[in-house]
Amino acid sequence: MVLENSFVPSLYVIKGIVILDNDGNRILAKYYNQSFSTVKEQKDFEKSLFNKTHKGAGDVILLDNLTIVYRNNVDLLFYVLGSTNENELMLNSVLTCLFESLSTMLRKNVEKKVLCENLDLIMLAVDEICDEGIILESDPMLITQRVQLRLDDIPLGEQTVSQVIHQAKEQIKWSLLK
């Protein structure tokens, strides 16, 4: 028996995670549903999203049949998208986890330049938080630990130049502190 207008619970809570700069340009966007099948549709959505939210400090809005929680920080805007009947507190816990884990990994320096330099870390963090729209973890400390473990496990030959430089900086820093 199926009731009309009934809510069917789903594990696929997150419809997308988006990070824009203060000009509305995409830094990172991962969409987990088929609402925006082309890059043009994604860019159009991001433009309207930015226009509605760039002056706010952060809150919840409804746009294009999506519930969106967002947060503004220095020169970045962070968004977590869910369906219209999604619990805003659940979406906000994902947003908070994302922001706090990035803040920890980037040593409280969450701004566009540093975020772009560490995009590999950011993408790992997003993948640790959410997979295909299913929330995997919402504890920022666990996310930070998992991302750091995954970076340490990469063989030297497969690391990017920025990862090698980052590890060298860390080793030099720790050797100077001893």
Tell me the per-residue pLDDT of 71-112, one tens digit each, with 9 for 90 and over: 998 889 999 999 988 889 999 999 999 999 999 888 887 889
pLDDT at residue 96, rounded to an integer: 95
Q: List the domains of the chain with CATH numbers.
A: 14-177 (3.30.450.60)
pLDDT at 54: 84
- Longest alpha-carbon distance in the chain: 68
**pTM, full prediction:** 0.79
Given a contact cutoff of 8 angstroms between Cβ atoms, the answer to whether 22 and 55 are in contact is: no
- Asked whether the beta carbons of 69 and 57 are under 8 A apart, the reply is no
> Taking the C-alpha atoms of 43, 74, 132 and 129 in order, what is their torsion angle to the nearest 10 degrees?
170
Interval 113-151: pLDDT, tens: 888 888 888 999 999 999 999 999 999 999 988 888 765
Nearest to 121 by CA among 91, 96, 146, 156: 146
Segment 5-24, tens digit of pLDDT: 556 778 888 999 999 999 99
- Pair 97, 137: CB distance under 8 Å: yes
Amino acid in position 26: R
pLDDT score recorded for residue 1: 47
> For residue 147, what pLDDT is reported?
85
| Residue 32, amino acid | Y
pLDDT classification of 169: cutoffs 50, 70, 90:
confident
- Residue spans of alpha helices (H) in the chain: 39-53, 88-105, 112-117, 119-129, 140-152, 161-177
